[in-house]
């Protein structure tokens, strides 16, 4: 992970005479990155489709509309039908919701656990750090997908289980990052100052250090959402997903046995995942550059 702390931020490159407000500077830097802007627009459209799409149509993604594995374009079925004769297009439209929701929820769990563990370890150090890092390492040695497969298998595949299983296995990276940031920032002058005037630990952690550690964590948060969407897709692909809710991964998992006969059942939902995750990663890149002008200039 590149060095992304804010305290080392220096203004280089084309020197401005006036000093900008950090947020304006952030926006200006972000908008300089055309790919990130396009990705942001594209992602917004995807989110809107996910929220509004099902409201605008009264289609049922589970409804059997035509003969099984009909190729795209035939008889008005835009993207063809799946192995049960359900419309791929409608399923992708509805699948957006589940995929994005699982991605966001799992990322939220990942961030909460990671931030808690990382900040406490980084701030208190000593035995707290030792203990928490041992726990982190413990979770790092178990292959995440394998562990989440076992968890979903144990507690039956519902949306909640899947979210939980993804969150529980993927927080270690966030924890390590948060720990590193906290360790660095806690030694800075203004934190020392806050401590010397008797501020409580909780206040120092949440009000003083956290805001300064945010930039890299925000970037990580964005990437975590993308990773969680991919994770959900992998679980669904393996058949470990809620059978009552269409997600992009589930469409692929349902039809993978028919892949050679009906490649469209796999190609289109995969494309949806790919484009969404690509947008999220581009946004993450844009954020990273905007927070770290120094890196961008290089």
Part in contact with another protein (CB under 8 A); list of ranges 71-79, 103-111, 189-197, 237-245: 237-245
N-term to C-term CA, the chain: 16
Distance of CA 270 to CAs 156, 219, 222, Å?
25, 24, 20
Separation between Cα atoms, residue 277 and residue 102, nearest integer Å:
13
- Minimum distance from CB of 214 to another protein (Å)? 22
Q: Which is nearer to another protein, 111 or 279 (CB)?
A: 279
Site for another protein in 40-99 (CB under 8 A): 60, 62-64, 67-68, 83-86
For residue 145, state whether it binds another protein (rule: CB under 8 A): yes
Q: How far apart are CA 99 and CA 230, in angstroms?
A: 9
Q: How far is the CB of 248 from another protein (least distance, A)?
A: 9
- Distance of closest approach, residue 158 Cβ to another protein, in angstroms: 9
Per the CB < 8 A criterion, the answer to whether 276 and 39 are in contact is no
CB of 50 to another protein, least distance (A): 18
How far apart are CB 64 and another protein at their closest, in Å?
Answer: 5
Report, in Å, the least distance between residue 295 CB and another protein: 9
Number of residues that bind another protein (CB under 8 A): 62
Closer to another protein by Cβ: residue 44 or 244: 244
Q: Which of 191, 217, 221, 282 lies at the binding interface for another protein (CB under 8 A)?
A: 282
Q: Nearest approach, Cβ of 136 to another protein (angstroms)? A: 11
Which two tokens mark 78? 């835009």
Stretch that binds another protein, among 107-115, 147-155, 186-194, 210-218 (CB under 8 A): 147-155
User: Is 270 near another protein (CB under 8 A)?
Assistant: yes
Q: Which tokens is 161 given?
A: 């289980």
Q: Which parts of this chain interact with another protein (CB under 8 A)? A: 2, 60, 62-64, 67-68, 83-86, 134, 137-138, 140-147, 149-154, 156-157, 226, 230, 233-234, 237-241, 243-244, 249, 252, 254, 256-260, 263, 266-267, 270, 273-274, 277-278, 280-282, 285, 298
């Amino acid at each position: 992970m590149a060095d992304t702390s804010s305290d080392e931020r220096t203004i280089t490159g084309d020197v401005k005479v006036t000093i900008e407000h950090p947020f304006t500077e952030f926006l200006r830097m972000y908008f300089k990155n055309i790919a990130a802007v396009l990705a942001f627009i594209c992602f917004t459209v995807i989110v809107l489709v996910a929220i509004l799409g099902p409201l605008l149509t009264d289609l049922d993604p589970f409804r059997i509309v035509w003969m099984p594995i009909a190729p795209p374009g035939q008889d008005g079925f835009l993207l063809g039908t799946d192995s049960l004769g359900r419309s791929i297009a409608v399923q992708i439209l509805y699948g957006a919701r589940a995929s994005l929701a699982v991605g966001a929820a799992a990322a939220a769990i990942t961030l909460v656990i990671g931030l808690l563990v990382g900040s406490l370890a980084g701030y208190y150090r000593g035995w707290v750090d030792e203990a928490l890092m041992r726990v982190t390492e413990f979770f790092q040695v178990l292959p995440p997908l394998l562990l989440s497969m076992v968890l979903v298998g144990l507690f039956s595949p519902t949306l909640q289980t899947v979210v939980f299983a993804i969150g529980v296995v993927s927080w270690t990276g966030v924890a390590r990052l948060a720990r590193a940031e906290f360790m660095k920032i806690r030694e800075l002058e203004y934190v020392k100052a806050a401590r010397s005037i008797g501020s409580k630990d909780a206040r120092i952690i949440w009000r003083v250090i956290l805001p300064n550690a945010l930039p890299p964590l925000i970037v990580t948060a964005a990437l975590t959402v993308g990773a969680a969407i991919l994770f959900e897709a992998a679980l669904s692909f393996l058949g470990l997903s809620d059978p009552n809710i269409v997600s992009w991964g589930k469409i692929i998992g349902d039809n993978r046995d028919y892949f050679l006969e009906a490649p469209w059942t796999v190609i289109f939902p995969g494309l949806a995942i790919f484009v969404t995750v690509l947008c999220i990663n581009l946004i993450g890149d844009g954020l990273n550059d905007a927070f770290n002008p120094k890196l961008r200039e290089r």
